[in-house]
Structure 1
Amino acid sequence: MEPASRTGASRDERVDRAKELASHLALNHVTAIALTWVDNAGITRVKTVPTIRLPDVTAWGVGMSPVFDVFLVDDSITTSPDAGGPVGDLRLYPDLDRLTVLSAHHGWAWAPVDRLTQEGDPYPACQRGFARRMAAAATERGLSFQFAFEVEWFVGDDAVDDPLGIEPATTGPAYGMSRITEVADYAHEVLEALQTQGVPVEQFHPEYAPGQLEISVAATDPVAAADRLVLVRETIRAVSHAFGLRASFAPMVQAGSVGNGPHLHFSARAEGRNLFAGGDGPHGLTARGQSMLAEIVARMRALCAISAPSVASYLRLMPQRWAAPYQCWGRENREAGLRLVTGTRGLEDAAANAEIKCVDGSANPYLVIGAVLALALEGVDAGRILPPEVTVDPASLPEDRQPPRLPLSLPESVACLEEDEVLRNALGEALFGAFVAVRRGEAALFSTSTAEEVVAATRWRY
């Protein structure tokens, strides 16, 4: 059976294209290609092949075990009803449309993969396949989505005299220009590498915590947005290594401080119209746009298991740290789980979008995007109305008027996910079972650990 193709091209046509690409790569002294996927622990895993093998890999894939679906963050292995153990095999097929020469990895190229069975059928637990299915379902409904992750990270290293501490590469004031001065050459290399790789950067700035930086990239289609996040992170990691530094995208890098949150922005259009602008609803939301966002807010506690899926996530989701630990929404409210961004007056149709803030660096971007799409599709024509807007810091309200808190722990969020039929059905039993097994395995792994121990154990894993 022919393996599935995003473009619909035949195997022979794909192989011919792979031969052309391999020749081009060889002329540019690219000797190897990294083929990546992101597992249920949120770790980017890889297999690599010599460039000369790209045509063969495009035709027949690269073998891998399905056991990776039940790897935990520390590389220990659990089991689920459909994954675990030494038996079975899958095939990794590179997406040639995403093939990129890596500027910061000399002699390397990169491509994300789709995971198929040995018979060439879609593998039901493939996270990228899940995002693709949801994107295709949106297209069938006449909807067009654009997504973009913000990318926050810590750059520095372990503290020499403290086994649980860190040494940031920047120590100037939060958002201060002095931080740019401290890492100007490093930042230049990051930005230049991304530009060379065709990643459109919209903003770059130092963030709040020492050593914390942020890049915002342009929005693109759903699957490409997740691919782009993987590429950006690995580029930053490579540049950091070249400067003798380490990069961490973990939810928390220092217990008790603020964490990293690759907040997710998205917009939705139908018949050329932005569903988040020009309507009669709150702040210009159309009826379909409001219903879509209301569905997401209503199911945000279950979504947290996917968007904030690690034990460390719940060390970050604290009030008054701009981590948005509340199940509510508000226009430009950065402590609300969903922030409505209307854009500058006159640019609403182009700029209006929603930001899901309860997302962190331990999340699998394909699962997050697929889950958001599933909820958006569930709600778009359901006639839902948003709850009352929260226009202040939720923590400043009297306790009896505060919106509900998002889950306070990983087991709590997983329990919410298990009860949510929409997300469970969208994921499918194989992917759902493996994902929940990993989440429960990690909860057990750190059940007796202190916050400091959790942070130290996961700091450099993401």
Structure 2
Amino acid sequence: MDPLASLRHLVQTHPLIDNHAHNLLSRAAATNYAKYPFEQITSEAQGPALRNAPSTLPLQRAAAQLATLYDCPSSDWDCVKAARDQWVERDYQGLIRRCLEGTHSLLLDDLLTDQDIESFEWHDRFAAAPTKRVVRIEVVAARVLSSILPGGYDQSTSSPAVLQTHLEQFRQGFHEKITEATADPAVVGFKSVICYRTGLDVQATDDSDNEILLQSFARTISQGTGSVYRVEDKPLNDWLVRQALNQLQSAKEIDPSSPNKPLQLHTGLGDNDINLILSNPAYLQALVAQYPKVDFVLLHSSYPYTREAGYLACVYPNVYLDLGEVFPMVSRDAQESIIRESLEIVPTTRLLWSTDGHFYPETFWLANKQFRDALEKVIVDYVLHGDHTIEQAKLAVADILFNNSNRLYSLNEKATYNSGLAPAIRTLSSTSSIDALDIFMQNNPDVKYIWLQFIDFTATTRVRMFPVREFAKIVRKQRRIGVCLAVFLMLQDDSVCPVGSTTGQFYMEPDLSSLWLNVGLDSKSATVMSWWRSEEGTELEGCPRTTLHNITSELRVKHGIEVTCGFEIEVILLKCITNPDTNEEDFVPCVSNHSWSQMTRDTRRFVPLLEEIADALESIGINLEQFHAESAPGQFEFVLPPGSPVAAVDTLIKARQVVTNIAEQHGLRATLHPRPHQHAAGSASHAHVSISPATQEESFLAGVLQHYPAMTAFTLSGDASYDRVQSGLWAGSEWIAWGTQNRETPVRKISKGHWEIKSLDGLANMYLAMAAILAAGYLGLQEKQPLTVCDCLYDAAKLSDADRSALGITTQLPKSLSQSLDNLASDKALQDVLGHSLVQNYITVKKAESKKLNAMDAEVRQKWLVERY
């Protein structure tokens, strides 16, 4: 992997510890915009001032990004909110889970409010590690006051002596609550909002004049409403902060090895009731010096006082700067400037990340997305200018996103990402591969063997199996697994094309991010995908996964485009019978009464099997979006969750294997054959492709359409594939076209920047197929190609020549693999992106494969394909 590409990947995927956030709204309150205006996701404004929010750059940027999240065709604010309402109604927890992807741990200040929110423990389901608490000291103080004076303040009995008694009760009660919280393992720190109440100019030492404190206490309780109190009188507020700091410092002096519990302080921007001048963290300098054994966290980038906070974090070893809240509250330029200012003198070991996410899950999603993007730009720029080495930059990223918070709050976590409820934990970070393997084995101690696999040019899965101890040697680079280069020109039966050579080898390098349990078969094993490496350990042209990864990176680096992919698995379940005439096994339909999205008597018999498949997939972190009966006898569809291109194809491969394994346990063959029943529709493997931002969607689509005739060499990669793509079979019909929600065009547009590619099936090496699609889109972007093919609302095969011409539809899909391969051979631009050697070897293999298959009898050929796909 290119070093810069690996750095970018790290920034975008490293698990994060959100060191300061708040509770989410309950589903019932999630769309109560009258009480909780959605515009506040990017604004601290309230009331009438909030009406101006839609005209701000932060909200307009957020709207465009949320449109991609919701799959909304427009970034118009009302449309975005409507799309959000639909998702909340349909699957609120699914929305939350999507918004918190990549979050390893949440540290919640759960005392922001006690109305309309989910409980602290409820949030555990959305992160890999249990949620931790940050205790807000002013709320603790208010609750203590309520317990002392539940009936409110009574002026007739408030003599100095009574007030002194109440103050002592308050002192003792507050001390007890802070002590309890300090001892609570779920509490990892404390927070003060004194910045809001009376400002950060906190008196560093105790006021010896008890009368001043007593008067402040009296004013506080006299301003209470019934039993509800708000502590906002300066002497008392300062005293509360010092009391908390005294207890935290004392705890460290008594037991230096006790878990660290810092004090977070709101600094910088806030609601309109803040005194912006007194929110400058420079006021805290004397307080920081007074309590050297307590760690201070200056929240929210201290914006607009980032440099002042940075100075404190530089010169005091007990000060950390949190980079939260300004994402997504300020513009892109301001965000990048804040990161640069934070890095001016602050050690990267003193910077923390948080979202300040609250109420809406989108506040987490926007903050994480925008911070990762800004951090990537800044950190890569420093590397390009020689300020950081790649390794220094990677360490800085891991520290900011994870390590610093992990250490500061004594969390003792490992950087892992938990896919849903899966017991298999997948490492997505710069932690070493052996650490990733150790984490996996800790969570799956019964695993004894690891299957290391790759997909060759014929879409055949090739597997090597190792005892865990031997696989660990591969991960540690104590041994290498060489594979003969003949694989580049090898067919399914292990024969090698005449031009192939048995000389030379490449090496399989495991990608621990793809490690998953083998389920659906009786085996104590797991499987991992691999990269192909040269003798020197560098990337090897021809590796399908590397090809897809590199094109994805090129789209990000050169055009600022992120790609998301998702797949549909269509399989046909067949039963194997012995032909009494020939004594040979034949595959026949497993049902007769079966049709699309119906639950016939035959179909209902398969419900337990389908649910077993869904449960097995969920157990390894693949949460199906839906599954249902398809049109052909015994045909079913499973819709997989989206992901980045390589990860999405990895998910497709593992999901297919699970479906196959479980079907075999029930005596059935789950085949991906494009059309095993000539009297019925065929099976595809439709891909959903989304680009973000979608501002250049027309050029991307134009490139895809222009290179479609060559792309089909990868997407319709067998002669059998072309039996399926005919008009009337809901397979994209026969002309190269696109149409909004038109299932009889090869490219169905679903929303802005989101398409379904229908010319795909299970014979394809999906890494290469997706690489070809993205390469075609990349060429369209490079050439700023105009989109000359119009939106087609009909089956183009049924239009007249004149009607097709008026829409710019001029090219038919290839009718055979031979035509597609010829188109690929003549498409030099596509070869330049994919690699000439890869394309040449691929063409050679597919021609040899076609020759072998076409020499077979039709029934023998069909059985041969069903056995293998």
TM over 0.5: yes
Which secondary structure state, in structure 2, belongs to the residue aligned with residue 380 of structure 1? helix
Deviations 1:53-99 (A, max 9, x none): 2321113342222222222234332155xxx3321122111111121
Q: 2:776 aligns with which of 356, 375, 379?
A: 375
Matched, 1:243 2:666: yes
CA contact (8 A) 1:374 1:422 kept: no
For the residues of structure 2 that align with 1:25 and 1:369, how far apart are their CA atoms? 32
> Which of 842, 852, 859 is matched with 1:445 structurally?
852
- Displacement, 1:334? 1.1
Q: Is the 2:673–2:866 contact (alpha carbons within 8 Å) kept by the matching residues of 1?
A: yes
Q: Is residue 733 of structure 2 the alignment partner of residue 333 of structure 1?
A: no
Alignment counterpart, residue 520 of structure 2, candidates 94, 104, 115: 104
Instruction: Please name the residue that 1:132 is paired with.
Output: 549
Match of 2:731 in 1: 323
- Relative to structure 1, is the Cα distance of residues 74 and 258 closer, same or farther in structure 2, using a 3 angstrom cutoff? farther
Instruction: Say which SS state the counterpart of residue 863 (structure 2) adopts.
Output: helix
Matched letter for residue 168 of structure 1: P
| Deviation, structure 1 residue 450 | 5.3
More strand by share: 1
Partner of 2:647: 224
Map of 1:262 onto structure 2: 685
Q: Paired residue for 2:491, among 44, 48, 72? A: 72
Question: Which residue number corresponds to residue 458 of structure 2?
Answer: 41
Which of 592, 595, 601 is residue 171 of structure 1 equivalent to? 592
Shift of the alpha carbon at 1:158?
Answer: 3.5
Check the 8 A contact 1:326/1:335 in 2, yes or no: no
Task: Give 1:159 shift.
Answer: 4.5
Deviations 1:415-453 (A, max 9, x none): 000111222112212211211111111222233445444
Task: Give, in whole Å, the separation in 2 of the partners of 1:257 and 1:73.
Answer: 27
Question: Structure 2: which 5+ residue stretches go unaligned?
Answer: 11-390, 396-429
The one-letter amino acid paired with 2:761 is D
Alignment match, 2:789? 387
The structure that has the greater radius of gyration is 2
Deviation at 1:40, TM superposition (A): 0.5
Amino acid at match of 1:143: I
Structure 2: which amino acid aligns with 1:336? T
What is the rounded CA distance, in whole Å, between the counterparts of 2:735 and 2:623 in structure 1?
Answer: 32
Aligned match of 2:505: 89
Deviation of 1:17 (Å):
0.9
For the residues of structure 2 that align with 1:458 and 1:47, how far apart are their CA atoms? 23
Q: Hey, what does 1:307 align to over in structure 2?
A: 715
2:700 aligned to which of 262, 287, 292: 292
CA distance in 2: counterparts of 1:64 and 1:18, whole angstroms = 24
Q: Distance in 1 between matches of 2:570 and 2:434?
A: 39
Between 321-330 and 362-371, report the one with greater CA deviation: 321-330
SS of 1:68 mapped into structure 2: helix
Q: Distance in 2 between matches of 1:365 and 1:138?
A: 18
Letter in 2 for 1:93: E
Q: Counterpart of 1:312 in 2: which secondary structure?
A: helix
Q: Distance in 1 between matches of 2:591 and 2:802?
A: 41
**How big is each residue's C-alpha offset from its partner over 1:364-387, in whole Å with a ceiling of 9 and x where there is no partner?**
111011111111111125141141
Residue identity matched to 2:482:
G
Change (3 A) 1:291 1:75: same
TM-score by length of 2: 0.47
Determine whether 1:150 maps to 2:557: no
What's the CA shift for 1:42?
Answer: 1.2
Given that residues 330 and 338 in structure 1 are in contact (C-alpha distance below 8 angstroms), is that contact kept between their aligned partners in structure 2? yes
Pairwise CA distance, 1:22: 6.0
Check the 8 A contact 1:254/1:455 in 2, yes or no: no
Q: Which runs of 5+ in 1 are unaligned?
A: 276-285, 343-347
Kindly state the Cα deviation for residue 147 of structure 1 after the two structures are TM-superposed: 0.3
User: In the alignment, is the contact (CA less than 8 A) between 2:626 and 2:638 conserved in 1?
Assistant: yes
Q: Deviations over 1:9-59 (max 9, x none)?
A: 89x9635415514642662x1111111211101111111111222321113
Output the CA distance in 2 between the equivalents of 1:126 and 1:320: 37
Secondary structure of the residue that 2:743 maps to in structure 1? Answer: coil
d(CA) in 1 for partners of 2:701 and 2:668? 40
Which amino acid is the alignment partner of residue 389 of structure 1? D
1: distance between equivalents of 2:703 and 2:623?
31
Range with greater deviation from structure 2 (44-53 or 249-258): 249-258
Q: Percent identity?
A: 27
The 3 A distance-change label for structure 1 pair 190 and 331 is same
**SS of residue paired to 1:376:** helix
Give, in whole Å, the separation in 2 of the partners of 1:340 and 1:50.
47
Distance 1:215 1:91, change over 3 A: same
Query: Helix, strand or coil for the counterpart of 1:446?
Result: helix
Which secondary structure state, in structure 1, belongs to the residue aligned with residue 626 of structure 2?
A: strand
Structure 2 CA distance for aligned equivalents of residues 123 and 383 of structure 1: 31
Q: Deviations along 1:358-416, whole A, 9 cap, x unmatched?
A: 01110011101111111111112514114122211223223665543211111110000
Distance in 2 (alpha carbons) for counterparts of 1:210 and 1:191: 20
CA distance in 2, matches of 1:203, 1:116: 37
Output the CA distance in 2 between the equivalents of 1:66 and 1:226. 24
**Residue 425, structure 1, aligned to residue 844, structure 2:** no
Q: CA RMSD in A?
A: 2.5
Deviations 1:237-271 (A, max 9, x none): 1111111111111222234532211011110003x
Q: 1 CA distance for matches of 2:437 and 2:748?
A: 46
Distance 1:99 1:157 in 2: 31
Other-structure match for 1:283: none
Name the stretch that deviates more: 365-374 or 452-461.
Answer: 452-461
For residue 157 of structure 2, what is the aligned residue in structure 1? none
* Range with greater deviation from structure 2 (384-393 or 16-25): 16-25
2:594–2:603 Cα contact (<8 Å) kept: no
1:405 counterpart residue number: 812
Q: CA deviation at 1:136?
A: 1.1
Structure 2 CA distance for partners of 1:72 and 1:258, relative to 1, 3 Å: farther
For 1:133 and 1:437, locate their aligned partners in 2 and report how far apart those are by CA, in whole Å.
Answer: 23
Q: In 1, are the aligned partners of 2:533 and 2:540 still within 8 Å (CA)?
A: yes
Segment of structure 1 superposing worse, 258-267 or 315-324: 315-324
